[in-house]
Chain A
Amino acid sequence: MIPRHQKVIFALLLVASLAMAALLWQLRQRAHQRMIAGEDAAPTSAPEVAPAVQATLLVASDADNSLITQNRSLPLPTDPGARARAVLGKLLDLYSTPDSTHPVPGGASSIAQVFLLPADAVKPAAAAGHAATTHADAPAAKEPDSTGPLLAVVNLTGSFVAGHPSGLETETLTVLSICGTLHANLPRVTEVRFLVDGHAQATLAGHADLTRTYLAADAVPSEGSHP
C-alpha cells in the first residue's frame, strides 16, 4: 500500500516535469526563431575587392637619412580615412621586412586608426594643447564634406612605439615618412598629429617630439635632398 503523501509528491513531480518540458520546448522555439531572423539579416552578396590604384610611399633609408619615393599598385578603399590607414599599413609592412632600409618591427597592425579632421576647425584646440583627447573622442572618422585642408591624426599602437628603435635619425625618418606618405596620397592632408593608444605621448622612442603638429608638405623631399 503506497502512503497518500507519497502519491501527492509523485503527482507534483510529474506536473513539474511536464511544465519544465513545455518551457524547454518553448525556449527552443524562440532560439530557433532568433537564428532564422539572424540569417535573414546576414549579407547575401560577397564583399567587393577594391580596385588596385597607384599609391606613393615615401620609404625611409637609414643609410643616408633620406626618403625615397616608391610607387606601388595597391587595392585601396575609397573612404579617405580607410585609405590613409591602408597606405600607412603598407609602408610599415615594408619596414618590418628583414631586408628593410629602415627596420622597424610592427607592420600594418601598428596603425590603429587614422582620423581626418578639417585642419582649421581643430587649430584652437591644438594650440591649447588639448588636441589629442579632442581628436580621440571626436566623431570624425568620416570624411568632412568641405574641400579644405585636413589634419590627419595617426593613432599608433603602444606595441609599435615600444618596439621602435631609439635614435634621432631613425625616429625622425619614421615620422617624416608617415607625414610624407599621407600627403602624397591625400594631398588635402596638410598637418599630421600622433597619438599612441589614443593618448598624447611626448616622444616616439625618446627623441622625436610627438606633441607637435607636423606640416605634411615639409616631409615631402625635393629630388635628391634629405628631409
Chain B
Amino acid sequence: MPRRVAIQLLSLFFAACSLAAQAPSPPAAKFAIVLDAAHGGDDPGGRIGNLSEKAFTLAFNVRLRSLLSARGFQVVTTREQDAAMDSTRRAEIANRANAIACLSLHASESGSGVHLFVSSLTPAPPMRFPGWKTAQAAYATRSLALAGVLNSSLQQAGMTVTLGRTALMTVDSMACPAVAVEVAPERDAEHKITGELDSAEYQARVAEAIAAGLLEWRTEGRQP
C-alpha cells in the first residue's frame, strides 16, 4: 500500500514538472516599454493653455499605454496618478523593467509637432558598474537608432518632427534605449496651429504613430 502511494506521488511530481516545462514563459521582458509621464504632484511643468504639462503627460501616458498593450507590449509606467516623483525614482523603475525602449513624455506650447530628444551624453561602452548620472551613455547609440525609428513613423503619419539632444536627468540615468518625446502643437508653414495639444484627435494621431514606431522597433529585433 505505501509503495502504491509513493508511486502515485512520484507520478504526480513528474507530471507537475512536465507541465511546468510546457507552461508558457512569463511576458518577455525584452518586449517591455517604459512610459514616464513627466512632472506630477507639486511640479506642474509648463503651462499648456488651461492645462498643466503634468496633466497632459498623464493623459497621453494612459492613451499610449492602451495602444501599446493592445499590440502585445508589456507596459511599465512610472506614475499612474498626479503624484510627485523625482528623477531618481523614475530611472529606478525604468532600469528594473529591462525594457526595449523607455519614453519620457513631455509637452510644450513652443515649437511645432513632436520633438524627439536623445541624451547628449557621449556614447560609451557598457560598464559593469556605470555611473548613475551617466548610465545612458552606454545606450546612447541605440537611443539614437530608436529616435530614428520614431522619427520615420511620425513623419509617415504626416507629423512635423524635430530631433535634438538634451541633458535631462531622468533620461541620463536610464539604462535602456531612451528618448524624450515632447509633444507641441502642430503648425502649418505660416506657424498657424493646425493641431491643438488638447485635441483628442491630435493626441491620438501622435500616440498611434509612436505605437507604430515602437512596433517596428520590436519587429526589427533591436532588443537589448
Contacts and interface: CB of A to CB of B under 8 A. Distances in A.
Contact of A227 (B43, B112, B165): B165
Contact of B169 (A202, A218, A226): A202
A62 B46 contact: no
Contacts of A208: 166-168
Nearest to A173: B164
Contact of A169 (B43, B45, B111, B120): B111
A169 B180 CA distance: 10
Interface core residue of B120, B133, B165 (most chain A CB under 10 Å):
B120
B36 interface: no
Interface residues of B, number: 29
B191 interface: yes
Interface in A147-198: 165-170, 172, 175
B46 A166 contact: yes
Interface in A76-93: none
Interface in B111-170: 111-112, 115, 117, 120, 133, 162-169
B202 to A, nearest CB: 17
Contact of A62 (B39, B111, B120, B163): B111
Interface centre among B47, B120, B167, B168 (most CB of A within 10 A): B167
A101 to B, nearest CB: 11
A62 B164 contact: no
A206 interface: yes
B184 to A, nearest CB: 7
Task: Name the 3 nearest CB pairs between A and B, nearest first.
Answer: A166-B46, A167-B108, A65-B162
Interface of B: 39, 43, 45-47, 53, 106, 108-112, 115, 117, 120, 133, 162-169, 172, 180, 182, 184, 191
22 contacts: A63-B111, A65-B115, A65-B162, A166-B45, A167-B109, A168-B108, A168-B166, A169-B111, A169-B115, A169-B182, A170-B108, A170-B111, A172-B167, A203-B169, A206-B46, A208-B167, A209-B167, A211-B169, A212-B167, A214-B167, A226-B164, A227-B164
